[in-house]
């Protein structure tokens, strides 16, 4: 009998991840002899975890907080993820990819949001933020990157320029979080890429409040646990359209699934399985 192909997600914390339910649903639907598990891996164990999984013949891995940038050095990144400096997907040969940006932009488009020529205010400058900023710039958006540690936002913006992802002529601007108030009025989209608001990390917190928002702002939180984060509650109070993190999870997951299996993922089914799991 053929061996079951093992897939997994590594990162920390892992208690609330919906990636296993989502991918296992997809494997079952397509009749693939595969299984997907979550593994809690801290930074100091990232290298051994990745090399161990590859040595064990895993079909692939997803990489999440806080390993997206660190993991890059333990794989052969494809050109795009190397230029960006972040990965969230590894295949069985140890090649690395980033699908966060594609997932985010697909989720925005699915919600009917125009990306080209939009001003996007992005909170955070970590691994996910890099991938999202790069994709937004490629699709013609202007990106304002606001981060707690401003120097990290500056590094992100400089990377987009040195890698020719952005021309740097005002299409990407690094800021500290203290500048959010002065730029949010000109933004059409606000995306939280930080872990603020996530269960077990910074529960019930938000970097932006309703009184700072305007009703034409689309507010997208890539955190999906809880599904309605404090940021999205505030956005609802302000009358904004909201997009929750499951939309991003499903689209970035579908892109990873395609890399691993070559098949188009059953997106709707993956989303409904993940939503059902969240409802308990
Ligand atoms: P990932 O690779 O998944 O993006 P990361 O690289 O650890 O994760 O990035 C986490 C992001 O969340 C960073 O932008 C971080 O801000 P700093 O660069 O200042 O650390 C942001 N973040 C995490 N906790 C935060 C908090 N309590 N307030 C504001 N920003 C926070």
Task: Write the DSSP string, 119-170.
Answer: EEEEE--SHHHHHHHHHHHHTT-EEEEEESSHHHHHHHHHHHHHTTS---SS
Residue 170 confidence class, pLDDT cut points 50, 70, 90: confident
Q: Please tell me if the CB atom of residue 147 comes closer than 6 angstroms to any atom of ligand 1.
A: yes
- Name the burial class of residue 102, with classes exposed (0-12), middle (13-18) and buried (19+) by CB atoms within 10 angstroms of its CB: buried
Residue 211 confidence class, pLDDT cut points 50, 70, 90: very high
Closest residue by CA, ligand 1 atom 3 = 65
Q: Given this model, what pLDDT does residue 280 score? A: 77
Q: Given this model, what pLDDT does residue 2 score? A: 79
- 179 is annotated as an active-site residue: no
What percentage of residues in the chain have a pLDDT greater than 70? 100
Q: Which atom of ligand 1 is nearest to the CA of 152?
A: 18
Residue 14 CB coordination number (10 Å): 18
Of 51, 44, 62, the residue nearest 94 (C-alpha):
51
Q: Please tell me if the CB atom of residue 256 comes closer than 6 angstroms to any atom of ligand 1.
A: no
Residue 1 confidence class, pLDDT cut points 50, 70, 90: low
Q: Which atom of ligand 1 is nearest to the CA of 127?
A: 2
Mean pLDDT of the chain, nearest integer: 96
Tokens of 268: 């709707």
At residue 104's C-alpha, the angle toward residues 102 and 106, to 5°, is 65
Per residue in 71-103, pLDDT (tens digit) is: 999 999 999 999 999 999 999 999 999 999 999
Q: Is 39 helix (H, G, I), strand (E, B) or coil?
A: strand
Q: Say how many Å lie between the CA of residue 19 and the centre of ligand 1.
A: 21
Q: Residue 63 above 90 pLDDT?
A: yes
Tokens of 150: 């401003």
Contact (Cβ atoms closer than 8 angstroms) between residue 75 and residue 90: yes
Of 206, 261, 199, the residue nearest 227 (C-alpha):
199
Q: Please tell me if the CB atom of residue 98 comes closer than 6 angstroms to any atom of ligand 1.
A: no
Q: 62 has which bridge partners?
A: 9, 89
The answer, as to whether pTM is greater than 0.75, is yes
Q: Residue 23 above 80 pLDDT?
A: yes
Rounded distance between C-alpha atoms, residue 218 and residue 190, angstroms: 6
Per residue in 242-269, pLDDT (tens digit) is: 999 999 999 999 999 999 999 999 999 9
Q: Say how many Å lie between the CA of residue 30 and the centre of ligand 1.
A: 36
Per residue in 106-156, pLDDT (tens digit) is: 999 999 999 999 999 999 999 999 999 999 999 999 999 999 999 999 999
Tokens of 240: 């904004």
Rounded distance between C-alpha atoms, residue 256 and residue 271, angstroms: 15
- Name the burial class of residue 278, with classes exposed (0-12), middle (13-18) and buried (19+) by CB atoms within 10 angstroms of its CB: middle
Q: Which atom of ligand 1 is nearest to the CA of 129?
A: 4
Per residue in 227-245, pLDDT (tens digit) is: 999 999 999 999 999 999 9
């Amino acid at each position: 009998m053929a061996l079951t192909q093992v897939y997994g997600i590594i990162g920390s914390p892992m208690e609330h991840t919906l990636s296993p339910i989502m991918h296992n649903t997809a494997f079952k639907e397509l009749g693939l002899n595969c299984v997907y598990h979550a593994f809690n891996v801290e930074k100091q164990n990232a290298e051994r975890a990745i090399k161990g999984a590859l040595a064990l013949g895993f079909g692939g891995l997803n990489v999440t907080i806080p390993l997206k940038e660190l993991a890059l050095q333990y794989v052969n990144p494809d050109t795009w993820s190397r230029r960006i400096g972040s990965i969230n997907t590894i295949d069985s040969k140890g090649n690395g990819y980033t699908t966060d940006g594609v997932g985010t932009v697909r989720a925005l488009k699915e919600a009917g949001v125009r990306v080209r020529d939009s001003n996007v205010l992005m909170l955070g400058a970590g691994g996910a933020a890099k991938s999202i900023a790069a994709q937004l710039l490629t699709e013609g958006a202007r990106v304002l990157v606001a981060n707690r540690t401003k120097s990290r936002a500056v590094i992100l913006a400089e990377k987009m320029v040195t890698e020719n992802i952005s021309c740097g002529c005002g299409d990407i601007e690094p800021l500290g979080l203290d500048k959010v108030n002065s730029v949010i009025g000109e933004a059409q989209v606000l995306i939280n890429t930080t872990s603020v608001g996530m269960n077990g990390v910074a529960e019930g917190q938000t970097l932006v409040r309703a009184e700072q928002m305007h009703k034409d702002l689309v507010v997208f939180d890539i955190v999906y646990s809880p599904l309605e984060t404090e940021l999205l509650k505030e956005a609802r109070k302000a009358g904004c359209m909201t997009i929750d993190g499951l939309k991003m999870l499903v689209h970035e997951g579908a892109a990873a699934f395609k890399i691993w299996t070559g098949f188009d993922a059953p997106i709707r089914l993956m989303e409904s399985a993940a939503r059902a799991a969240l409802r308990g």
